[in-house]
Structure 1
Amino acid sequence: MLQTYLKAENLKFKRSLFRKLLIFIPAALILISMIFIFIGIGLGGFSSSIVGNWCMPIASLSIMFLCHLVNNKDQKHKYRTLYSLPIDLKKIFISKTILIALNLLIISLLLSFITVISECILSGVSVAMGHSGYYLVGYCLLWLSLLWQIPFCLFLDQKAGFVGSVIISLFASASGGLFFSLTPLFWFFPYSWTARFMVTFFGVLPNGLLVEADSRYILNVGESSLLVLISLLAMLVLSALFSRWYGKQVYRK
């Protein structure tokens, strides 16, 4: 039954900006990284600049923008297409979350592919192919650490509006990446999880410098596994919490 809801949500965005962002976001990251390297900010190299810009703050902004587009599709009709139909609003919310998560996964896979291509050009094909699996796993783990933001941003966009949500996301992402990700407090500040995974799997610090191989900032296998579990648990809890909130909206109309 949930598959039907997901197909219905997906059909809403045929030939829309929502789909085009799958290309626009990676293209924007490539352009930003090239500019950063040109002006001397991308100190760790092109691939490091891409992952650094993705983690702080473009990933959070992308989620916020995707959530706004999903919400705006129904807001334009004042939710009459939802609240007047005999459908389960909880499943609608979950299908929206899954749809955004799948689009975010595609963007992450494209970024891993771009990273491999850039390494082929800069370091050679053999070196790039040897690290391709590592890049793929790394971007997938970054994706996992971002999933909790989707249900939260769907809720935040409706409560604070698009501009307010963007400001909150920018501030929280910057705070998490720059101030909490390299401290023990990162466990309690979800916006810092992605930056800590970036340090661990890509060896890039929030300031763009490369981390030393034996740095205390690199999580071990146990800590990384725990952070993955916490990220998944946060996503499930927030999805259940906000889908229940969304399901009650029909009674307020």
Structure 2
Amino acid sequence: MLPAYFTAENLKFKRSLFRKLMIFIPATLILLSLVFIFVGIGLGGFSSAMICNWCMPIASLSIVFLSHLVNNKDQKHNYRTLYSLPIDLQKTFIAKTILIALNLLIISLLLSLITVISESLVSGVSSAIGHSGYYLLGYGLLWLSLLWQIPFCLFLDQKVGFVGSVIINLFASAFGGLFFSLTPLFWFFPYSWPARFMVTLFGILPNGLLVDAGSRLILNLGESALLVLISLVASFVLTLLFSRWYSKQVYRQ
């Protein structure tokens, strides 16, 4: 039954801003990274600036925007589309979460493609193609570390509104990336997980500089696998928790 809920949610956003954000977000990230290079902030190069900006805080803000658009689709109709149907609201929330996750995955894949193209201009086509699988894996693992934010932001958007969600996620993402990500405390502050993965997978520090080879900040294979597992468990638990919350918040007339 869950595929039917996902299909229903997906059809709501045909030719909408929600779909267009899959292009707008990478385009915005490219422009922002070029600005950073121009003013001398992206000292590690264009690819480093783009990855750093994605981890802190564009990815979190993208999830806030996507979550708000998903919530707003039902809110602007006063939930009449839910009241009149004999549906499982818990499955509806899960479908919304999956929809945002898939859109975020497409954005991540586009970013990996952009990184390959930019590296081919700098290092040559053969070198970039040889590292394309590595970039794909890197952005894929960054995507996994962001999944827990989706159910949380769907919840947060309804509780504190869009502006409040932006402020909280902007502050938490920047704070986690700049402070907690380089300390052992990053295990306990989920907003720092993408930044620590960035250091490990791409060798880029939160300030945009390249990390030294063999640095203690680079997670080993076991630690990386543990962080992936924690991210997946956190995503599953929060989705289950907030889906139950959602089913109790929206009442049928």
TM-score bucket (shorter structure): over 0.9
2:113 is the counterpart of 1:113: yes
Given residue 81 of structure 2, which amino acid in structure 1 is its aligned partner? Answer: T
Is this contact kept in 1: 2:204–2:210, CA < 8 A? yes
Q: CA deviation digits over 1:41-67, x for unaligned, max 9? A: 110000000000000000000000000
Given residue 24 of structure 2, which amino acid in structure 1 is its aligned partner? Answer: F
- Residue 146 of structure 1 is matched in structure 2 by 146
Distance 1:42 1:91 in 2: 43
Q: CA deviation digits over 1:90-136, x for unaligned, max 9? A: 00000000000000000000000000000000100111111111000
Q: CA deviation digits over 1:137-186, x for unaligned, max 9? A: 00000000000000000000000000001000001001100010000000
- Residue 50 of structure 1 is matched in structure 2 by 50
Question: Greater CA deviation, 193-202 or 79-88?
Answer: 79-88
Distance 1:197 1:251 in 2: 40
- TM-score, length-normalised on structure 2? 0.99
Is this contact kept in 1: 2:82–2:252, CA < 8 A? no
Q: CA deviation digits over 1:55-94, x for unaligned, max 9? A: 0000000000000000000000011111231100000000
- Residue 199 of structure 2 is matched in structure 1 by 199
Distance 1:54 1:40 in 2: 18
Given residue 239 of structure 1, which amino acid in structure 2 is its aligned partner? Answer: T
Please provide the CA RMSD for this pair. 0.9
Is this contact kept in 1: 2:198–2:204, CA < 8 A? yes
Is this contact kept in 1: 2:83–2:252, CA < 8 A? no
- Residue 103 of structure 2 is matched in structure 1 by 103
Partner SS, residue 214 of structure 2:
coil
With over 3 angstroms needed to count, the CA separation of the structure-2 counterparts of 1:202 and 1:81, relative to structure 1, is: same
2:153 is the counterpart of 1:164: no
Distance 2:250 2:151 in 1: 18
Given residue 213 of structure 1, which amino acid in structure 2 is its aligned partner? Answer: A
Distance 1:135 1:250 in 2: 41
Partner SS, residue 248 of structure 1:
helix
Distance 1:252 1:65 in 2: 27
Distance apart, 1:252 and its partner CA: 8.0
Given residue 3 of structure 1, which amino acid in structure 2 is its aligned partner? Answer: P
Is this contact kept in 1: 2:84–2:252, CA < 8 A? no
Provide structure 2 residue ranges, at least 5 long, that are not aligned to the other structure. none
- TM-score, length-normalised on structure 1? 0.99
Given residue 145 of structure 2, which amino acid in structure 1 is its aligned partner? Answer: S
Partner SS, residue 131 of structure 2:
helix
2:3 is the counterpart of 1:3: yes
Distance 1:4 1:249 in 2: 22
- % identical aligned pairs: 82
- Residue 12 of structure 1 is matched in structure 2 by 12
Given residue 23 of structure 1, which amino acid in structure 2 is its aligned partner? Answer: I
With over 3 angstroms needed to count, the CA separation of the structure-2 counterparts of 1:252 and 1:179, relative to structure 1, is: farther
Distance 1:48 1:201 in 2: 12
Divergent runs of 4+, >3 A? 250-253
Is this contact kept in 1: 2:148–2:235, CA < 8 A? yes
- Residue 226 of structure 1 is matched in structure 2 by 226
Distance 1:243 1:136 in 2: 30
Distance 1:148 1:83 in 2: 28
Equivalent positions of 1:63-74 (< 5 A) are: 63-74=63-74
